[in-house]
């Protein structure tokens, strides 16, 4: 079975750099764990989201930072999984304003539909050869389109900060790769001012 990989990039205004400590915000909705398989030599990172805090209006997006460079072409985890109606994506962009503090490239997921009712907690995971990062900067975010409890100007961000995640790589995008605009999803999410969606491709 082939997976559809939504390749996306977000371009954010350059106002301040990453924040090294996790700022105060509305809720702590995400928990993360990691396990290691000595046979496959893979680390599996698993993230559980408290679905009770998510809005039923607008898209839901969750992402983990994995590359300090802006590179929407890769690298990918070895394998990954997500709830039904979510798509895996590579997200990339410049320095983020405000307390959220996003920069570089992320492995993430976005809901396929703008109106979702989540009766159970959402579980996302991926496996990679990379061990645990020791970087203390913000490295994840959880966004819900209809949520309003985030920091001023970033009300849709339910949770963000530092969580267990793979060691960062420093891999630039290959020359000549240019994203193709595709902004409909981000209009629906309410993130168009700070994010730039790009095309899709299939991976085996």
- pLDDT value for 42: 98
CA distances for 36 relative to 40, 122, 163, 179, angstroms? 9, 22, 17, 35
- pLDDT value for 27: 60
Give CA 38 to chain center in angstroms.
27
Per-residue pLDDT of 97-115, as tens digits, reads 567 777 888 999 989 888 8
Distance in angstroms (rounded) separating the CA atoms of residues 105 and 126: 15
- For residue 104, what are its two tokens? 């570089």
Per-residue pLDDT of 35-55, as tens digits, reads 999 999 999 999 999 999 998
Give CA 101 to chain center in angstroms.
13
Is pLDDT of 83 > 90? yes
Please give the mean pLDDT across all residues of the chain: 75
Per-residue pLDDT of 108-146, as tens digits, reads 998 988 888 888 999 999 999 999 999 999 999 999 888
Q: Taking the alpha carbons of 80, 87, 138, 23 in that order, is the dihedral positive or negative?
A: negative
List the beta bridge partners of residue 47. Answer: 32, 124
What pTM did the predictor assign? 0.76
- What backbone torsions phi and psi does residue 203 show, to the nearest 5 degrees? -125, 145
Longest dimension (CA), the chain: 47
Q: 43 near 127, Cβ under 8 Å? A: yes
Query: What is the mean pLDDT of the segment spanning 15-29?
Result: 44
Distance in angstroms (rounded) separating the CA atoms of residues 88 and 82: 8
């Amino acid at each position: 079975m082939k997976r559809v990989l939504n390749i996306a990039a977000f371009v954010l205004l350059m106002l301040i750099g990453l924040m090294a400590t996790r700022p105060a915000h509305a809720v702590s909705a995400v928990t993360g764990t990691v396990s290691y398989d000595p046979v496959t030599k893979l680390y599996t990172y698993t993230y559980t989201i408290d679905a009770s805090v998510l809005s039923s209006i607008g898209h839901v997006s969750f992402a983990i930072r994995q590359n300090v460079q802006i590179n929407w072409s890769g690298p990918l985890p070895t394998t990954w999984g997500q709830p039904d109606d979510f798509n895996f994506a590579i997200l990339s962009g410049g320095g983020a304003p405000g307390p959220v503090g996003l920069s570089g490239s992320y492995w993430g997921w976005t809901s396929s539909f703008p109106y979702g009712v989540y009766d159970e907690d959402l579980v996302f995971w991926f496996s990679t050869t990379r061990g645990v990062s020791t970087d203390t900067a913000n490295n994840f975010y959880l966004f819900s389109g209809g949520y309003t409890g985030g920091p001023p100007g970033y009300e849709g961000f339910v949770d963000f900060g530092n969580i267990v995640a793979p060691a960062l790589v420093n891999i630039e995008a290959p020359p000549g790769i240019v994203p193709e605009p595709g902004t409909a999803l981000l209009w629906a999410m309410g993130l168009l001012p700070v994010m730039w969606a790009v095309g899709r491709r299939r991976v085996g």
